[in-house]
Chain A
Amino acid sequence: MEALDAIEREVDSAFAPVRDEQELRATHAKFLGKEGSLTEIMRRMPELAPAEKKTFGQAVNRVKTAVEAASEAAEVRLRQAALARELDREPTDVTMPGRRPRVGRQHPLHRVLYDVTDIFVSMGFDVAEGPESDWETNNFERLGFPPDHPALDMQDTFFLHNEGRPGPRTLLRTHTSTVQIRELLSHPPPVMIVAPGTVFRCDDDATHSPMFAQIEGLVVDEGISLAHLRGTLATFAQRLFGKDVTTRMRGSYFPFTEPSVELDASCSVCGGRDPHCRLCKGSGWLEVAGAGMVDPIVLSNCGIDPEKYTGFAFGLGIDRLAMIRYQVPSIELLYSNDERFLRSL
């Protein structure tokens, strides 16, 4: 019993200096391991008289419990110390840049092109396309451009080397309106398409690029009127510029539409209230699209009865919309492919 008392007195001081797992295990073993002092004592139990056994057994259990409790307390202390050590390490300087995957930039023209296309697709239009090179027939004649007419001067054309081949002259399309012809030749009405694409004009100055992007729209069906054109473009303008935008329609001229109109949207920046507005320059209006009712000659050139079917068409310049959205100071930047420009957007 005395030995037991001595062990009990030893317990707390034995666990107090423990500093790691290994010391903890060793200290525990000192009492309860194979050679442990308490184990030694318990091993002597059978030698005791039955009357002593009970008292002694209770005492051993008490000491054993004390050892286990001290061991557990030490373990908790060790765990907390370890946790504190990990948390108290030198904080990371989080002002250092993050390790980030590189983020690519889609070209601003394509961002706008896809946004515009998506708006029309959500309104029920499907996407059509045609080639960038084409024949004079599809670019001008079938669209009703009169031969030798000044209307041809509206679109300075890049002609291609024909290399002596017979047939109509070849060119780089001057507008996406070529897709009107290709779509109308591909199947009978109803037709409801937008045709985004690259077009070319022999023109290079501060406001013109020899290559630029357009999106064409074409709807041909029975009973289509100018009111449908206006409704379509008004919805488009509201989705692109904001729901408070209003539209106006005014007369214009394109050889392949009759009547021809320009559709303007009220200025989304100043609403027409700022005479020095950076966007509308004080006019209060933004030109959105050149448009009109498909000229009957275009329909009949494609084998469609213009008495039965009517339609509307429109064309939008993507470059100008991109320049408005991103405040691009000059059009040439859009084709500079200067990484500093591309990565600024």
Chain B
Amino acid sequence: MNISYQWLSALLGADPGVDKVARLLTDAGLEIEKVREVGANLASVLVAVVESTRPHPTSKNPLTLVTVGLGSQGSLEIVCGAKNVPAPGGRVLFAPVGTTVFTGDPKSPSFVLVEKPVAGIVSKGMLCSEIELDLGSDDSGIIVLDEEIPAGTKLVDVLPGAHDWILEVNVTPNRPDALGHLGVARDVAALLAIPFNGVRAKCVPSRPAREDERVRVESKTAACDRFDAAVLVDATVRRSPLWLRSRLHRLGLRAINNVVDASNYVMLELGQPNHTYDLDVIAERTVIARNAVDGEVLQTLDEKTRTLSAADIVIADAKKPVGLAGVMGGEGSGITDNTKRLLLEAAHFDPSTVRRMAKRHEIHSDASHRFERGVDPTCPPLAIARLKELLVELTGATVVDADVTARGPSELAPSPEVAVRDARVKAVLGIAVSRDEERRILAALGFSLVDEAPERVVVRVPTWRPDVTREIDVIEEIGRVFGLDRVPLAVVPSSGARAGAVRDFSQRRRVRDALVALGLDEAVNYAFDADALFESVGVRATARIANPLSSDRAAMRPTLVAGLLKNASLAVRHGEHKVRLFEVGTVFSARASDDPHANERDATAANEGPLHEETRVAFVLVGPRDSYLGDAGSVDVLDGKGVVEALVESLSRSEVRADREGEAPPWAHRAAFARLSVGDRVLGYVSELHPSMRGAFRLPASTVIAELSLEALTAIRPALRAIRPSKLPSMRRDVALLVARSHPVATVAALLREGAGERCTSVALFDRYVGKELPEGAHSVAFSMEFSPLGDKTLTDAEVDGWVKAAVARVVQDLQAVQR
């Protein structure tokens, strides 16, 4: 909402200063997002009278040389390109050299006039259009004033509020009263503690109405509880005077004609939307607020044809709808240049009904914006009175005694009475407000005192504050005018209460920290993406957004893998060969109908949502291993497994087991994937990317991915027990074995360990060799075996050799291995 400081100031009868007003309003909840100074350039602009004109002697362009009189400042000849230079005697606006003028071009919005020749002739200024003075949007010609103003008069002396500040107010949905200058002025007055009398309309003379000037109004719907109408005759529809045009322009509205402009002016003043009709096109001079008939058609002012339903409320004449109630007027009943008789409407409509209509028809108008927030239901008579006053002045019309008011079928509930307890005010605000100050604040905001007792007051809420219905709402009003910044600082007495709604915050954090420590970078992808992205890794999304930003952002991610591959692909395209990315995030799937959390009540009680949500941990490795001035090769599935092993070790000191069981994910490479487990819990899968999926992401063969369950990763937390390290040395023996490759290395190691007895504390693979000289299908594997002494008994070479021999014998026997 744009608010004119000059207008505000006029309503208040005070000039507190724009900065002060902006600060006070912001502190009280009407945030001023911006203050725009306008009209600072107008100080030097003068009213000039055209004395004579002659065509430019040499220019091929249609330029006119205009001699204008500037009163005591004599006459000047000015070059003018406009086609609408008035005949001698006409009044125009003259900007002398040095004045800032506007271009209407956002790239270079303004410049300062200098004395320079136009087509060979030097002017000492220019005759200006609305755009050039930033007084309107008309650039069809120079401004020609209708008023009889002496030549040489300063524009600022005849244009009230020429130099102004526009306050851009962020009006929250609870403050419909602040959608007019009246409501904002009331707040300012309360904040400044100055008297404020609101807006009153001057009584205008009227004459008795003839029979054909009388109108009939009726409300047949509960959604319209009040409908006021009035009639003016002998109106002249024309362009509005400059003060009105410029005021509307500065507040962001386009000037149309004096009737429509007056209507908009009243809306900006009071916050009450209203409408004017050409009485002569209203069938039977009858206006009815009613439900539309299904299939009824109305062409609205935005030139769209709307098919209506019974849920719509229309304003109709005796034959057809002429407007969508509270939303937008209809084409064909509005004001034209030939309109002579005016029908004025100011009504009150039910907020929810207007909101649903506006949503259904996808219209957001100044009227619907106000009605859906709640307009003061008692305002229509004042709006009609103000409109009459303005229209008489602007159009020369005569008011006839044809005012009518229709009431809806149901009475509007009176505004509520609310008891406000002193103790509660202090309990909520944390500071006591004196009864005197409380009464002053509430009175300034329009609350009336109904009853007063030592411990409480009872007040009636003003009709323009539909959001205030309870004690707490009144306390907020007291607080924001009293000054929220006066609330002191206090320390919460820490309750030590533990959270009840707990999920996996600390687990996510531990895993993130661990993966960062392992040298991976963290990604955060959107939770939704294109179905096609997930299909490219063979996974189908089962949960989707009904109203996505675009159809390729509708699928809730069923896997983290696709997003990470997309990120890796981007990195590779940018020339990065080495990618190490991980993500810890939620994946989504639709719940089965027999899921115990499929209904809202049970799921909420269990702190679950409507979708099945699972936190996953995923990473992608691409490109060469970390190495230095040498080729360490590219990553493969064992690099991925290594990351998981290190992660699990750092989380729980546990061993990771790998196998090829279960159902491998579609992105797994069948020769290079592993299912990873700790104990009997499956963590997930690690794999080189399936070769057929590389193309879509343009990723190399050395792309390794893993996706694991956070829950499984962090569920295992064995109680760790410290060992007392022996003071005696342990002993190492290396053994090399030739063994069939069909036997997993883990099996060989396990047999060695088993065969070596309990003093063997580790068996670690340190070399593996495959070569043509080895028997078909065999490889040579070398293990380092460690033996640790027990207590204070030193190990002897003989006993260790014996254990190694036993271990090797076991492998030779069970796997037909050969010691090398």
Contact A124 B626 (CB under 8 A): no
Alpha-carbon separation in the docked complex, A342 to B583 (Å): 13
Alpha-carbon separation in the docked complex, A168 to B487 (Å): 40
Contact with A along B466-491 (1 / 0, CB 8 A): 00001011011001100011011111
- 8 Å CB interface, A253-268 against B: 253, 258-262
By beta carbon, the residue of chain B nearest A234 is: B489
Alpha-carbon separation in the docked complex, A161 to B547 (Å): 9
Q: Which of B30, B487, B497 contacts A226 (CB 8 A)?
A: B487
Does A90 touch B at the CB level, under 8 Å? Answer: no
Does A248 touch B at the CB level, under 8 Å? Answer: yes
Chain A positions within 8 Å of B556 at CB level: 133, 160
Chain B positions within 8 Å of A193 at CB level: 497, 499, 501
Contact A161 B543 (CB under 8 A): yes
Closest CB in chain A relative to B215 CB, distance in Å = 32
Q: Which of A104, A135, A157, A159 contacts B517 (CB 8 A)?
A: A104
Chain B positions within 8 Å of A250 at CB level: 26-29, 31, 484-485
Closest CB in chain B relative to A147 CB, distance in Å = 7
Contact B497 A191 (CB under 8 A): yes
Does A330 touch B at the CB level, under 8 Å? Answer: no
Interface-side segment among A79-87, A216-224, A271-279: A216-224
Contact A198 B428 (CB under 8 A): no
Alpha-carbon separation in the docked complex, A310 to B492 (Å): 12
- 8 Å CB interface, B587-621 against A: 588, 590, 593, 598-600, 603-605, 607-611, 613
Closest CB in chain B relative to A212 CB, distance in Å = 10
Q: Which of B373, B430, B567, B626 contacts A102 (CB 8 A)?
A: B626
Contact with B along A128-154 (1 / 0, CB 8 A): 111111110110000000011111011
Contact A249 B487 (CB under 8 A): yes
- 8 Å CB interface, A84-99 against B: 97, 99
Contact A198 B491 (CB under 8 A): no
Contact A104 B505 (CB under 8 A): no
Alpha-carbon separation in the docked complex, A198 to B506 (Å): 15
Interface residues on chain B, size class: 35 or more
Does B496 touch A at the CB level, under 8 Å? Answer: yes
Does A116 touch B at the CB level, under 8 Å? Answer: no
Does A228 touch B at the CB level, under 8 Å? Answer: yes
Listed residue (A138, A248, A259, A334) with the most chain B CB atoms within 10 angstroms of its CB: A259
Closest CB in chain A relative to B606 CB, distance in Å = 10
Closest CB in chain B relative to A332 CB, distance in Å = 11
Given the interface pairs A252-B31, A259-B428, the reply to whether A339 lies near B522 with Cβ below 8 Å is: no
Does B518 touch A at the CB level, under 8 Å? Answer: yes
Contact A261 B484 (CB under 8 A): yes
- 8 Å CB interface, B166-204 against A: 172-175
Alpha-carbon separation in the docked complex, A261 to B429 (Å): 11
Decide if the interface of chain A is mainly helix, strand, loop or mixed: mixed
Contact B173 A104 (CB under 8 A): no
Closest CB in chain A relative to B237 CB, distance in Å = 34
Does A8 touch B at the CB level, under 8 Å? Answer: no
Alpha-carbon separation in the docked complex, A104 to B583 (Å): 12
Interface-side segment among A10-18, A30-38, A180-188: A180-188
Alpha-carbon separation in the docked complex, A250 to B484 (Å): 6
Chain A positions within 8 Å of B608 at CB level: 131
Chain A positions within 8 Å of B540 at CB level: none
Does B228 touch A at the CB level, under 8 Å? Answer: no
Contact B502 A159 (CB under 8 A): no
Does A23 touch B at the CB level, under 8 Å? Answer: no
Contact A196 B505 (CB under 8 A): yes
Given the interface pairs A182-B501, A253-B175, the reply to whether A105 lies near B590 with Cβ below 8 Å is: no
Contact B545 A110 (CB under 8 A): no
- 8 Å CB interface, A320-345 against B: 334-335, 337-340, 342-343
Does A61 touch B at the CB level, under 8 Å? Answer: no
By beta carbon, the residue of chain B nearest A345 is: B521
Closest CB in chain B relative to A295 CB, distance in Å = 7
Does A103 touch B at the CB level, under 8 Å? Answer: yes
Contact A259 B480 (CB under 8 A): yes
Chain B positions within 8 Å of A269 at CB level: none
Chain A positions within 8 Å of B525 at CB level: 335, 337
By beta carbon, the residue of chain A nearest B494 is: A124
Contact with B along A41-78 (1 / 0, CB 8 A): 00000000000000000000000000000000000000
Given the interface pairs A226-B429, A337-B567, the reply to whether A102 lies near B495 with Cβ below 8 Å is: no
Contact A161 B544 (CB under 8 A): yes
Per CB-CB distance, the 3 closest pairs between chain A and chain B, nearest first, are: A251-B29, A186-B500, A227-B430
Give me 17 A-to-B residue pairs in the complex whose CB atoms sit less than 8 angstroms apart, sorted by A's number.
A102-B580, A104-B516, A104-B519, A104-B580, A109-B524, A110-B512, A148-B352, A192-B494, A192-B497, A210-B553, A231-B492, A249-B485, A258-B473, A259-B476, A337-B525, A337-B570, A337-B581
Given A109-B524, A221-B493, A335-B525, output 13 extra A-B contacts at Cβ < 8 Å: A104-B580, A127-B499, A148-B356, A192-B497, A193-B499, A202-B549, A226-B484, A230-B430, A230-B489, A248-B485, A335-B526, A339-B567, A339-B581
B residues engaging A (CB < 8 A)? 26-31, 172-175, 351-352, 355-356, 372-373, 426-431, 470, 472-473, 475-476, 479-480, 484-485, 487-506, 509, 512-513, 515-528, 543-549, 553, 556, 563, 567, 570-571, 574, 576, 579-581, 586, 588, 590, 593, 598-600, 603-605, 607-611, 613, 626, 628
